[in-house]
Amino acid sequence: MTGPLDGKVALVVGAGADGDAVSIGRATAITFARKGAKVFAVDIDADSAQMTARLIEDEGGAAQAYGADASDPGQMEAAVSACLETYDQIDIVDNNVGIMAFGNPVDLAVEDWDRVMLVNSRSHFLACKYALPHMVKRGAGSIVNISSIAAIRWTGAPYHVYNASKAAVIGFTKSLALDYAGSGIRANCVVPGFIDSPMMRGGIAQRHGASEVEAIVRGRAEKCPLGRLGSPWDVANACAFLASDEAAYVTATTLIVDGGVTASCAL
Ligand SMILES: NC(=O)c1ccc[n+]([C@@H]2O[C@H](COP(=O)([O-])OP(=O)(O)OC[C@H]3O[C@@H](n4cnc5c(N)ncnc54)[C@H](O)[C@@H]3O)[C@@H](O)[C@H]2O)c1
């Protein structure tokens, strides 16, 4: 049996998770490995990247953990170099880092606007900046960037800077795809909806209090035409498809993984 990612090396940025929880990045790293890729798992929390790598190795996969702030140019340049030293190639870049700040433009501190824009857009830019020369030399590569339905729909809460930063990810991905199509490199965006992850639950708890989390999660699930929240594995499977040669003719697209919610009037 061969997997669709056999022989490929995937740089997954934001591959950790809170404790032993499953985030989108951790699920993606594990899914890539299950489909045959060697995974270089980067996270600002080196221990959580290590945990992801251990989970992959426990299943018989290959992974290397690396601690780096994905918004820091020096650290990301070093991370890409370390990936190349470890595995000699990079076929896939999966940019998964995303943070949130709550507040409308009047309330939100300028520093919070800058911090979220910087982390959410610069992290995607930097991984590409340092991995692209290698991909261009090989004439191949697949970049998968993670946006959000918040980039394309009002989701009912004032996460203005998050929404703007996720729209930037879509714009960046499209320009990447067109600029590098002639070099054999594809770039696509995955646009998750309401995904049951530590980030989502943490955001709800911060805004409404921990006691409200279950009720709000249930309410969101009811709004999804498929009747449930997405899981990190749903997003991971979409990333794996776009990363693989099965998506050889797919570039510059946004793949919405939201159980139908953005097509509905009920959001
Ligand atoms: N959970 C959702 O409902 C949802 C919906 C749409 C989009 N998304 C997007 O999916 C992505 C993953 O979301 P998640 O819910 O798994 O998030 P998460 O917070 O659970 O995981 C994100 C990981 O990124 C790491 N990280 C944060 N800042 C970093 C930095 N500067 N450098 C390196 N690593 C850093 C964190 O340590 C964490 O391990 C994010 O981009 C998020 O915006 C999530």
When pLDDT is averaged across residues 144-173 and rounded to a whole number, the result is 96
On whether residue 266 sits in a domain, the answer given is: no
Structure tokens at 112: 């919070």
Q: What pLDDT is attached to residue 265?
A: 80
Query: Ligand 1 pocket: which of 11, 18, 23, 217 to mutate (most atoms <8 Å of CB)?
Result: 23
Residue nearest to atom 19 of ligand 1 (CA): 199
Residue nearest to atom 7 of ligand 1 (CA): 148
Segment 232-267, tens digit of pLDDT: 999 999 999 999 999 999 999 999 999 999 999 865
| Amino acid of residue 55 | L
Structure tokens at 170: 């879509």
Catalytic residues: 162
* Statement: residue 113 has pLDDT above 90: yes
On whether residue 86 sits in a domain, the answer given is: yes
CB distance 55 to 62 below 8 Å? no
On whether residue 113 sits in a domain, the answer given is: yes
Ligand 1 touching residue 96 (CB < 6 A): yes
Query: Ligand 1 pocket: which of 55, 97, 217, 254 to mutate (most atoms <8 Å of CB)?
Result: 97
The domain that holds 124 is classified in CATH as: 3.40.50.720
On whether residue 150 sits in a domain, the answer given is: yes
Structure tokens at 85: 């030293």
Ligand 1 centre to CA of 222 (Å) is: 24
On whether residue 214 sits in a domain, the answer given is: no
Give the strand order in the sheet containing 141-146.
63-67, 38-43, 9-13, 92-95, 141-146, 185-192, 254-257
| Distances from the Cα of 29 to the Cα of 51, 56, 233, angstroms | 11, 8, 10
On whether residue 225 sits in a domain, the answer given is: no
Ligand 1 centre to CA of 43 (Å) is: 10
On whether residue 212 sits in a domain, the answer given is: no
3-state secondary structure of 4: coil
User: What is the number of domains present in the chain?
Assistant: 1
Residues spanned by the domain of 57: 9-195+232-258
Q: What pLDDT is attached to residue 2?
A: 84
On whether residue 201 sits in a domain, the answer given is: no
First to last CA, the chain: 42
pLDDT band at 203, cuts 50/70/90? confident
